[in-house]
Amino acid sequence: MKKNNHNKGFVMLFTALLSSIVLSVALGTANIAFKQILFSTGAEETTKAFYSADIGAECALFLDKSGSSNFISGSQGEGSGISSGLVVNCAENFSSLSREVPNETTQISYFSIDRLGFQKEGCADITVTKDLSGFPVQSTIVSTGYNKGVVSGDKCDPDEISVERQIELVY
């Protein structure tokens, strides 16, 4: 007696189906892992930029509250001239302090620092604005931090793929 085998190829079809399911699960898991790695790297760079901005803001706040008049010039109403020459020491960096006096009641000082963070790659631009129209004087510190960059001239020169974070203090 001859036996008919109608199940020829079933094992091969079942193996191909099972292999495609396993491959789909593996590719999905690899995709999720890759996205998590990108996300964690982005979070690390964001943290570096935030800490650079924080260091800049804390330095300006310290310099302003230390009793020295780093951010207020002696004469008011100097016009829109930019004066430079003062040097501030911040986070073991010496930076030139520049000033603008756009009108009688506003004075703007700015400086930049680099070599920030654990790997000394961060950079921050700091602007201190003094509103002298009332008492007490209102101060605004804006610190923009970058995860990677160096000071070029009087501003940070961030890398092409730098992350930027900004902190603003008003007191």
In this prediction the pTM is 0.72
CA distances from 102 to 2, 82, 119, 130 (A): 105, 9, 38, 11
Model confidence at 48: pLDDT above 80: yes
Measure the CA–CA gap between 70 and 89, rounded to whole angstroms: 11
Residue reference for tokens 């036996």: 3
Q: Identify the residue with better confidence: 25 or 117.
A: 25
What is the residue-wise DSSP string for the chain?
-PPP-TTTTHHHHHHHHHHHHHHHHHHHHHHHHHHHHHHHHHHHHHHHHHHHHHHHHHHHHHHHHTSS-TTS-SSS--TT-EEEEEEEEETTEEEEEEEEEEETTEEEEEEEEEEETTTT-EEEEEEEEEETTSSSPEEEEEEEEESSEEEETTEEEE-TT--EEEEEEE-
What is the residue-wise DSSP string for 118-146?
TTT-EEEEEEEEEETTSSSPEEEEEEEEE
Q: Identify the residue with better confidence: 96 or 165.
A: 165
Q: What pLDDT is attached to residue 71? A: 77
Q: Convert the pLDDT of each residue in 104-155 to its tens digit.
A: 899 999 999 999 888 889 999 999 999 999 888 899 999 999 999 988 877 8
Q: What pLDDT is attached to residue 7? A: 63
What are the φ/ψ torsions at residue 20 (nearest 5 degrees)? -70, -35
Is 82 in contact with 98 (CB distance < 8 Å)?
yes
Q: What pLDDT is attached to residue 6? A: 65
